[in-house]
A and B are shown apart, each in its own frame.
Chain A
């Protein structure tokens, strides 16, 4: 049961990811990205991370991607025009990418040849209660720091994107 769940949503995630990269019009890429995030949320549930799954859907898919879509609409972004100019990216990018992928896969296989098995309910420590406990004790300082970070981001975004006061 878990395997099927995993395979289905993993394939959806990969297909949507490929779609993100391949599509010419940004809005199609944005929708595909939403799809990726949704499937990842399911996978998080499989891993026992309920809070993270919820946060993923609410924050990522619900807020950030909406922001993306708004900006695409605001800028009236059209489909990309083919005008390659970076020789570096064209010639070295693909080999580098393949190397990266290969490396990562290799390390995964080396480090976890016969690792654990994941099944539903294997990890119960991902409930909001547990997250809250850790957030406000061990990770209090990063929590405060990120709240300041958000403040800075808000201020920065407002300053950058406002209209000039004439």
Chain B
């Protein structure tokens, strides 16, 4: 089936644009980039439609590592889970590529942007298609690299480069956990192939599987921005908005969820690990939602929303509802990408303004953006029958079955989600315009993807019945459709919308009054609970200071340089002493020769005797 074409086509796009794009026209660069992703999407579609996906279809390309009995191949495999991911990645990716043509039209480094985007697609598709942990890790690391490159795209702004560094470093911490998990898997299973590991997972002791599960979870926390490794995601908003949409909403951050879902045979035999995942997920969801309540930058609101929704996905996975988690992954890709792209459109309309306090009343000036974003907002709020309702409910129901308290916290979070999303919508689009730019609608090339995503957000829940589709992949868990629970969570969503309307449309001064009332709490939430500052003081500063003082001055300058220079100095001194042997006097040399020959003759004769 030539599955390798799916990732290779974007890689070709990267190479062409990266090497020659500087000389291409903008049109050619876009054509190459969009063309490669479109072809990849088409090929993936063909693969999915023509293969029997009930059994994983594995293609073996070459042996990568062979060391004794340990062997890692470069294999790709497709099954139903992969199919869902492929469609999401290539489909949403394609839409965002098209959007970027318009968004980045006036930016410098046009070809570089598309080259990086294509490179990202290559790595993400490798991650999704991988048939063993190591190839998945290649994709994992690669998307981290592309995230760094794209966050720091405006490399002349320190804010952006710092954010890129932060993303990469925090991701690395997660990757360390992932690596440890892989080592442990190799030690106990002897192989990293999914087929081998998952086939024999049932027979391994629970303790070992729990350790593997927890270590994999550390990796997922890093990549998917869960507590405590979520701090990079809000800062990553310093990158261009399409990047935020693609990488930090729809695809890269979902890699952790995908990996966890893929490893379900390990997790279903390690309930302790699953419970940990669920707890961390719900904690992150709640925590991030509270922060999102008070943010004023439109992108930051959605960034914290992403962290929160990722928490939901992990709750789904952690409570055994794997297909529900993946379902939410897909719907979230639709409406979160739409929210980001829409805010990009707003920012583009206002020539760079991102602060919600300087917006307002835009719904008449940029109607298309307003309408499409509204579709996303109702979807994320869980309003039936839009896409978000189905997926969120599936997760909450599974959570209730697992541990009711998770359900209640999740419901409250759903209410908060609805509140802050609609707060952003009302602040931006309703009321009077508070800024001083000249808002203009975005060009069609940016609007068409918004419309497509809006349609998907509306109808995605009906069109793609993921839980049924993935039913053959994951162990089935019959979840009763408890109407009461569904009603309660939906009501929470509506309550959130109503409160937002109340505080920002009906009585505009109410929000500030409330904030003044709980000043301390508000400041805490507004400053993201000072988590970044705590990390900085507790981890970053000691490390940097220690590196500087101990490793740099002590070890490098002192020890190593001292040793090397010391050797040189010693050689010089010895040479200086030996130099004095050269007396310059020929007769003394001659004497030495005679002495030496006497010794030599004696030695020779003694030896011969």
A–B interface present (Cβ within 8 A): yes
Secondary structure class of chain B's binding surface, majority of residues: helix
Find A88's partner among B585, B597, B598, B601 (CB 8 Å cutoff): B585
CA distance A30 to B585 in the complex (A): 24
Would A99 and B591 count as touching, CB distance under 8 A?
no
**What is the minimal beta-carbon distance from A14 to any residue of chain B, in angstroms?**
20
Is B468 an interface position by the 8 A CB rule? Answer: no
CA distance A85 to B592 in the complex (A): 16
Q: Mark B596-609, 1 if CB is under 8 A from A, else 0.
A: 01100110010000
Is A100 an interface position by the 8 A CB rule? Answer: yes
Would B602 and A96 count as touching, CB distance under 8 A?
no
Q: Mark A73-116, 1 if CB is under 8 A from B, else 0.
A: 00000000000011111001100110110010001000000000
Is B594 an interface position by the 8 A CB rule? Answer: yes
**What is the minimal beta-carbon distance from B153 to any residue of chain A, in angstroms?**
71
**What is the minimal beta-carbon distance from B470 to any residue of chain A, in angstroms?**
89
Would B591 and A103 count as touching, CB distance under 8 A?
no
Find A93's partner among B583, B591, B598, B605 (CB 8 Å cutoff): B591
CA distance A97 to B587 in the complex (A): 13
User: Knowing A96-B595, A99-B598 touch, does A85 contact B605 (C-beta < 8 A)?
Assistant: no
Contacts of B590 in A (CB 8 A): 89
Find B594's partner among A86, A87, A100, A107 (CB 8 Å cutoff): A100
Is B588 an interface position by the 8 A CB rule? Answer: yes
CA distance A15 to B601 in the complex (A): 28
Contacts of B605 in A (CB 8 A): 107
User: Knowing A103-B601, A103-B602, A107-B605 touch, does A89 contact B595 (C-beta < 8 A)?
Assistant: no
CA distance A93 to B590 in the complex (A): 9
**What is the minimal beta-carbon distance from B599 to any residue of chain A, in angstroms?**
10
CA distance A96 to B602 in the complex (A): 13
CA distance A96 to B591 in the complex (A): 8
* A interface size (C-beta, 8 A): 13
Contacts of B597 in A (CB 8 A): 100
Contacts of B592 in A (CB 8 A): 88
CA distance A99 to B600 in the complex (A): 13
User: Knowing A85-B585, A86-B587, A89-B588 touch, does A97 contact B594 (C-beta < 8 A)?
Assistant: yes
CA distance A97 to B602 in the complex (A): 15
Interface extent on B, as a size class? 10 to 19
Find A89's partner among B587, B598, B602 (CB 8 Å cutoff): B587
User: Knowing A103-B602, A107-B605 touch, does A88 contact B583 (C-beta < 8 A)?
Assistant: yes
Secondary structure class of chain A's binding surface, majority of residues: helix
Nearest A residue to B583, CB-CB:
A88
**What is the minimal beta-carbon distance from B363 to any residue of chain A, in angstroms?**
101
Contacts of B602 in A (CB 8 A): 103
Would A88 and B594 count as touching, CB distance under 8 A?
no
**What is the minimal beta-carbon distance from B596 to any residue of chain A, in angstroms?**
10
Q: Mark A123-141, 1 if CB is under 8 A from B, else 0.
A: 0000000000000000000
**What is the minimal beta-carbon distance from B531 to any residue of chain A, in angstroms?**
80
CA distance A118 to B605 in the complex (A): 27
Q: Mark B280-292, 1 if CB is under 8 A from A, else 0.
A: 0000000000000
Nearest B residue to A100, CB-CB:
B598
Contacts of A96 in B (CB 8 A): 591, 594-595, 598
Would B588 and A86 count as touching, CB distance under 8 A?
yes
CA distance A157 to B587 in the complex (A): 24
CA distance A92 to B598 in the complex (A): 13
Nearest A residue to B605, CB-CB:
A107
Contacts of A85 in B (CB 8 A): 585
Nearest B residue to A102, CB-CB:
B598
Would A89 and B591 count as touching, CB distance under 8 A?
yes
Would B591 and A92 count as touching, CB distance under 8 A?
yes
Contacts of A93 in B (CB 8 A): 587, 591, 594
- Which residues of chain A from 1 to 35 have a CB within 8 Å of any chain B CB? none
Extra A-B contacts (18), CB below 8 Å, given A89-B585, A92-B595: A86-B585, A86-B587, A87-B588, A88-B583, A88-B585, A88-B591, A89-B587, A89-B591, A93-B587, A93-B591, A96-B595, A96-B598, A97-B594, A99-B598, A100-B597, A103-B601, A103-B602, A107-B605
What are 14 sample pairs from A and B whose C-beta atoms fall under 8 A apart? A86-B583, A86-B587, A86-B591, A87-B588, A88-B583, A88-B585, A89-B587, A92-B591, A93-B587, A96-B594, A96-B595, A96-B598, A100-B597, A107-B605
* B interface with A by C-beta (< 8 Å): 583, 585, 587-588, 590-592, 594-595, 597-598, 601-602, 605
- For the complex of A and B, list the 7 residue pairs with the smallest distance between their C-beta atoms, beginning with the closest: A88-B588, A89-B587, A86-B587, A96-B594, A86-B585, A88-B591, A86-B588
